[in-house]
Amino acid sequence: MSRAFTREDDNDNGLSDIGERPVSAHRNLVTPAGLAAIDKMVADLREEFAKAESEGNRERMALASRDLRYWVARRESAEVSVPEPDSKVVRFGMTVTIENEDGKSHSWKIVGEDEADAAHGMISHVSPMAQALFGKKIGDLAVVNGKEWEIVKMEVEG
C-alpha cells in the first residue's frame, strides 16, 4: 500500500478544520479605546504566532494565524468615531442611562461590536437597545422587547 494513504498526517488534518472567524457586515465603528485594543490584539497575536512557530507548534500557529487574519481585517476596516461633546441626541460612543417604569435603571456605553461587553455596561452599536436609543434625547422613550425605557442621562467621555 502506498504511504500516501497512511494515517501519518492525521494531526495535520485537524488544522484545516478550524475555519475562519466570521467578520461582521456592519460598519466597524470603534471608540479610541477600541482601536487601541485591536492594535494590542494584533501585536499579541503576532507574538503568539512567532512563539508557536519557534516551538514548531502547528496547531497554535494555525489558531494564531486565523485570529490574526480576523483582527487585521477589523483593524483595516475600523472607523474611529467620537460623539460631539455637546450633542443633544444619543450617538455612538456615548454612555446613556435609561430607566423603566419601575424605576430600574441601566447605564450603557454604545461601542463597537468587538468592544461590547454587557456585563461591563458596554453594548454594540448594532444591538437592538443601541438602535432604539440612537437619535433620541433626554426624556424620550425607547422601546426594546416590549419594554419602555426613558432616557434620563447622556454623557460623553473625555
pTM reported for the whole predicted model: 0.84
State whether 140 and 107 are in the same domain.
yes
Q: Tell me the C-alpha distance between 128 and 81, whole Å.
A: 19
Give the tens place of pLDDT for each residue, 70-79: 999 999 999 9
Residue 12 placed within a domain: no
Phi first, then psi: what are they for 124, rounded to 5°? -70, 145
Confidence (pLDDT) at 15: 61
Confidence (pLDDT) at 7: 46
Residue 76 placed within a domain: yes
Residue 87 placed within a domain: no
Domain holding 150, by residue range, is 95-155
Confidence (pLDDT) at 106: 94
Confidence (pLDDT) at 2: 47
3-state secondary structure of 19: coil
Residue 41 placed within a domain: yes
Confidence (pLDDT) at 14: 53
3-state secondary structure of 53: helix
Regions of the chain where pLDDT drops below 50: 1-3, 5-10
